[in-house]
Structure 1
Amino acid sequence: MELGGALSIFLGICVSCLLLISTWKRMYKEGKLPPGPTPLPFIGNLLQIKTSEPFKSFLHGYGVALANGERWKQLRRFSLTTLRNFGMGKRSIEERIQEEAQYLLEEFRKTKGLPFDPTFFLSRTVSNVISSVVFGSRFEYDDKVFLSLLRMINESFIEMSTPWAQLYDMYSCVMRYLPGRHNRIYYLIEELKDFIAERIKTNQATLDPNNPRDFIDCFLIQMEKEKGNPSSEFNLKNLVLTTLNLFFAGTETVSSTLRYGFLFLMKHPEVEEKVHQEIDHIIGLNRIPASEDRMNMPYTDAVIHEIQRLTDIVPMGVPHTVMRDTQFRGYHLPKGTNVFPLLGSVLGDPKYFSNPQKFNPGHFLDEKGRFKKNDAFVPFSSGKRVCLGEAMARMELFLYFTTILQSFSLKSLVAAKDIDLSPKLSGFGNIPPTYEVCLVPR
């Protein structure tokens, strides 16, 4: 090809790109969308993202796509009802948490006060709570399959928080066939789905419709009831993915919050000491903590709330899809637009928290030391899309923190002033830094 012809083609491409970008800008201005950097064709705002802290780069965020519309309504209604029937927020789920907390104490005692990484100690105990509901049984702590699942869940949570996750989420139909780190997410999720699919097969082979053992059984029974309904969302694919959502969320979010909580308490030993004092005064050392103790322990309750606020495990929330053209505060949101509730922006709002960057349980205490609610405390989101596992997660956090601190004091390997609270990775989730702790019997 002659030089002149190649130059003409190059100039033609440049002019076409400029025209396309100009048209794109004009379209967005005329559409009265919320203000923000103009997205480029195909890649959107990817170039404006800070890869280390994508949350701080948006007016919009990123995450994994979840159900919307009628599918969401059917699955959420069923999941809430089923989980409540299996004890969510009731005495039976409390007993499961208390039982698992005692297993955890046994494992902690085996460390004999030596340094250890608490990551998989905490994920094993928390995961067993949701496993008992979803799968109908708990796993032994040394179960190799269980440990493999937990590692996959932990790694998936990390991978979802990398810059690659944005591209995978936007173009999964293409990205899964291209080489790169993003493929790790795909393979991890597929392995988790395969495990759940095998559990479903086992349940199908031994199903008693009159005696459901767990969430999977209940879903299978509902599938049979609605097999003649063409608009039903109760099918095998939704069963696998809904079970995965419950298992994943019920494992990683609570265990990560506990792991981060240890770090905050080691950074602020005076706070840990006050929690010890309240535990000794209200619960003592001769009985296990119960959820009803929370109302008599305002300081401990405030500490847990403050840990959740600053931990901000899922800062961008999960995406919701606009189901019809919507006018919001003078802006137009077209049908099909993904909207992210930036939970982190609320949890750190100085209008509601006097010093939002500082760890201060006083954010949740009144002048008399009584616990006070705060409308900006939304780690579980809010409205109709609030986390369906909120009741169980709140109970777990209180019972695990009080049970552990009733028996142990936390000892850091470094001076409190040198403890770095910065997340290892911040994206879909705020990933706690890796550290070791010593648990000293009280």
Structure 2
Amino acid sequence: MELNVTVTLFLVAFISWLLVAVAKRKGASKGKLPPGPTPLPLIGNFLQIKSSETLTSLIKLSEKYGPVFTVYFGNRPIVILCGFEAVKEALINKAEEFSGRKTMPTLERTFQGYGVVFSNGDRWKQQRRFSLTILRNFGMGKKSIEQRIQEEAQFLLEEFQKTSEKPFDPLFFLSRAISNVICSIVFGDRFDYEDKEFLALMKIMNDSFREMSTAWAQEKDNPASEFNVKNLELTTLSLFFAGTETVSSTLRYGFLLLMKYPEVQAKVHEEIDRVIGQARVPNIEDRIQMPYMDAVIHEVQRVSDLIPMGVPHAVTCDTEFRGYVIPKGTEVYPMLSTVLHDPTKFKNPNSFNPENFLDASGRFKKNEAFMPFSAGKRICLGEALARMELFLFFTTILQRFWLKPLVAPRDIDLTPQESGFANVPPVYKLSVVPR
């Protein structure tokens, strides 16, 4: 009996190995993938990649195989891009070829290739054009959106004031405020912070973000149209999800960093008092007069490294890249973390230092390796909205409050709660003290 089991297991392993070998030969006949660790039958390179430390494992492999290499997740080849030069060469210099998208397994059941984030080809192009047009029509980048953000920031200040300097977890305070900006765009109205359905939605989105790391009447008779109910629903879901969790998580990381580095918070307060004062509401035009605040926000985004491995791409055709030929449909992971921490672009990349975005005269300076929104044709379509939200919420809150930690600044732990698809901020409490 035991012999039969052993023989069966051997046959399964042998056949699996043959299938992988055949798949690799087929891939090799179409192209020449970058080198990488030899995959095992069935499990690929999972022995070299710890599930709880995927990013760290891949960066370690890059030290051996270089900035462009191939790993296998099971029998799926994944091309890994590390560092600014490799990511730029792919996503910007060969933007069209690397503009495909692969849906992460945790989201496949929900999206199934629909919606603006995970669609491809004509479906994606139609949905992206539509989404950008609608967002512009609703005022993205204009005064009307700025006023919605300013209004919501004032509601958030009222909620902070109610805490009466007592410790609280900022998670749902920030999620509700940021999500209400999206609600005001999509629905034309906001939710009360205590609305039960709204709170349930916030919990679902927050849980999903954490778990991942562990139709129109002119169009209905057009067979080529992608304006169907499923696409519209999932595009709207993408806007809510991306527009809520990414910005609110960045704010939560920002609060932690400002408390860990009180000298930075003090400089921000000084600049706010000098440029805006206490008598009026901050506006987006203040940003050009506030290089230090702008630099701090950029550095918060860089250090928080929210989507460290980027959203998976795919090549849209057989693609020549650095002497290799990547077959059409191959998954590509642009490791944004390695761009945001590239030592050739940032001094002391693992430290929090707003000087990364300031010149010798204290003026704000851009850095081409700043890619928290990715780059190329798949760059986040909500970048302008997110940048406006981050500036107005940070500035409005810090105009009124001093962020006070419950422990000594040196004891503040920045380690993510989860680190996979996203770096989820740790759970913490703070007090806000009126200035």
TM-score tier, shorter chain, comes to 0.7 to 0.9
Confirm or deny: 8 A CA contact 2:17 2:41 kept in the other structure.
Answer: no
Shift of 1:46: 3.3
From 159, 183, 194, the equivalent of 1:131 is 183
Q: 1:24 to 1:239 in 2, by over 3 A?
A: closer
Match of 2:432 in 1: 439
Shift of 1:383: 1.3
Q: Which has the higher strand share?
A: 2
Residues 1:396 and 2:416 aligned together: no
Match of 2:94 in 1: none
Shift of 1:284: 0.2
Secondary structure, in 3 states, of the residue corresponding to 1:48? coil
Give runs of aligned pairs for residues 349-364 of structure 1, distance below 5 A. Answer: 349-364=342-357
After superposition, give the CA deviation of every residue in 1:186-223 in whole Å (9 maximum; x if it has no partner).
xxxxxxxxxxxxxxxxxxxxxxxxxxxxxxxxxx4xx2
Confirm or deny: 8 A CA contact 2:255 2:403 kept in the other structure.
Answer: yes
After superposition, give the CA deviation of every residue in 1:107-141 in whole Å (9 maximum; x if it has no partner).
00000001000000000000000111122221100
From 274, 277, 280, the equivalent of 1:281 is 274
One-letter amino acid of the structure 2 residue matched with residue 388 of structure 1 = L
Confirm or deny: 8 A CA contact 1:115 1:438 kept in the other structure.
Answer: yes
Aligned-partner Cα distance in 2 for 1:17–1:387: 39
Match of 1:328 in 2: 321
Aligned-partner Cα distance in 1 for 2:126–2:3: 62
Secondary structure, in 3 states, of the residue corresponding to 1:98? helix
Aligned-partner Cα distance in 1 for 2:159–2:147: 19
TM-score with structure 1 length normalisation? 0.82
Aligned-partner Cα distance in 1 for 2:160–2:202: 18
Aligned-partner Cα distance in 1 for 2:307–2:28: 31
Match of 1:106 in 2: 158
Q: 1:14 to 1:256 in 2, by over 3 A?
A: closer
Match of 1:45 in 2: 45
Aligned-partner Cα distance in 2 for 1:5–1:342: 45
Confirm or deny: 8 A CA contact 1:24 1:41 kept in the other structure.
Answer: no
Shift of 1:227: 1.5
Match of 2:375 in 1: 382
Aligned-partner Cα distance in 2 for 1:128–1:10: 55
Q: 1:364 to 1:228 in 2, by over 3 A?
A: same
Q: 1:21 to 1:320 in 2, by over 3 A?
A: closer
From 308, 312, 317, the equivalent of 1:315 is 308
TM-score with structure 2 length normalisation? 0.84
Confirm or deny: 8 A CA contact 1:68 1:321 kept in the other structure.
Answer: no
After superposition, give the CA deviation of every residue in 1:330-369 in whole Å (9 maximum; x if it has no partner).
1121111122222111000000001100000000000000
Deviates more, 1:225-234 or 1:354-363: 225-234
Match of 1:419 in 2: 412
Confirm or deny: 8 A CA contact 1:325 1:334 kept in the other structure.
Answer: yes
Confirm or deny: 8 A CA contact 1:104 1:125 kept in the other structure.
Answer: yes
Shift of 1:7: 5.6
Q: Which runs of 5+ in 2 are unaligned?
A: 59-68, 70-77, 81-102, 109-117
Confirm or deny: 8 A CA contact 2:292 2:364 kept in the other structure.
Answer: yes
One-letter amino acid of the structure 1 residue matched with residue 391 of structure 2 = F
Q: How many residues align?
A: 382
Aligned-partner Cα distance in 2 for 1:364–1:102: 29
After superposition, give the CA deviation of every residue in 1:352-410 in whole Å (9 maximum; x if it has no partner).
00110000000000000000000000101111111000000000000000000000001
Q: 1:99 to 1:29 in 2, by over 3 A?
A: same
Secondary structure, in 3 states, of the residue corresponding to 1:279? helix
Confirm or deny: 8 A CA contact 2:20 2:42 kept in the other structure.
Answer: no
Aligned-partner Cα distance in 2 for 1:406–1:118: 17
| Runs of 4+ that moved beyond 6 A | none
One-letter amino acid of the structure 1 residue matched with residue 333 of structure 2 = F
Shift of 1:229: 1.3
From 103, 117, 122, the equivalent of 1:70 is 122
Secondary structure, in 3 states, of the residue corresponding to 1:438? strand
Percent identity between the two aligned chains? 64
Q: 1:6 to 1:228 in 2, by over 3 A?
A: closer
Aligned-partner Cα distance in 2 for 1:4–1:364: 66
Q: Tell me how large the CA RMSD over aligned residues is.
A: 1.9
Residues 1:302 and 2:354 aligned together: no
Shift of 1:38: 3.3
Deviates more, 1:391-400 or 1:26-35: 26-35
After superposition, give the CA deviation of every residue in 1:254-285 in whole Å (9 maximum; x if it has no partner).
00000000000000000000000000000000
One-letter amino acid of the structure 2 residue matched with residue 56 of structure 1 = T
Confirm or deny: 8 A CA contact 1:312 1:430 kept in the other structure.
Answer: yes
Match of 1:204 in 2: none
Secondary structure, in 3 states, of the residue corresponding to 2:52? coil
Aligned-partner Cα distance in 1 for 2:298–2:370: 8
Shift of 1:52: 2.2
Residues 1:122 and 2:177 aligned together: no
One-letter amino acid of the structure 2 residue matched with residue 160 of structure 1 = M
After superposition, give the CA deviation of every residue in 1:28-68 in whole Å (9 maximum; x if it has no partner).
66642122223445544333322222122236578446111
Confirm or deny: 8 A CA contact 2:315 2:332 kept in the other structure.
Answer: yes
Confirm or deny: 8 A CA contact 1:413 1:436 kept in the other structure.
Answer: yes
Secondary structure, in 3 states, of the residue corresponding to 2:189? coil
Confirm or deny: 8 A CA contact 1:24 1:40 kept in the other structure.
Answer: no
Secondary structure, in 3 states, of the residue corresponding to 2:140? coil
Residues 1:293 and 2:293 aligned together: no
Q: 1:9 to 1:386 in 2, by over 3 A?
A: closer
Secondary structure, in 3 states, of the residue corresponding to 1:341? strand
Shift of 1:433: 0.3
One-letter amino acid of the structure 1 residue matched with residue 397 of structure 2 = I
One-letter amino acid of the structure 1 residue matched with residue 349 of structure 2 = P
Aligned-partner Cα distance in 2 for 1:4–1:386: 55
Q: 1:121 to 1:8 in 2, by over 3 A?
A: closer
Match of 2:206 in 1: 154
Match of 2:98 in 1: none
Shift of 1:435: 0.3
Give runs of aligned pairs for residues 180-259 of structure 1, distance below 5 A. Answer: 220=215, 223-259=216-252
Secondary structure, in 3 states, of the residue corresponding to 2:298? helix
Secondary structure, in 3 states, of the residue corresponding to 1:160? helix
One-letter amino acid of the structure 2 residue matched with residue 335 of structure 1 = K
Confirm or deny: 8 A CA contact 1:299 1:369 kept in the other structure.
Answer: yes
Aligned-partner Cα distance in 2 for 1:261–1:7: 55
After superposition, give the CA deviation of every residue in 1:116-175 in whole Å (9 maximum; x if it has no partner).
00000000000000111122221100000000100000000000000xxxxxxxxxxxxx
Q: 1:11 to 1:50 in 2, by over 3 A?
A: closer
Secondary structure, in 3 states, of the residue corresponding to 1:439? strand
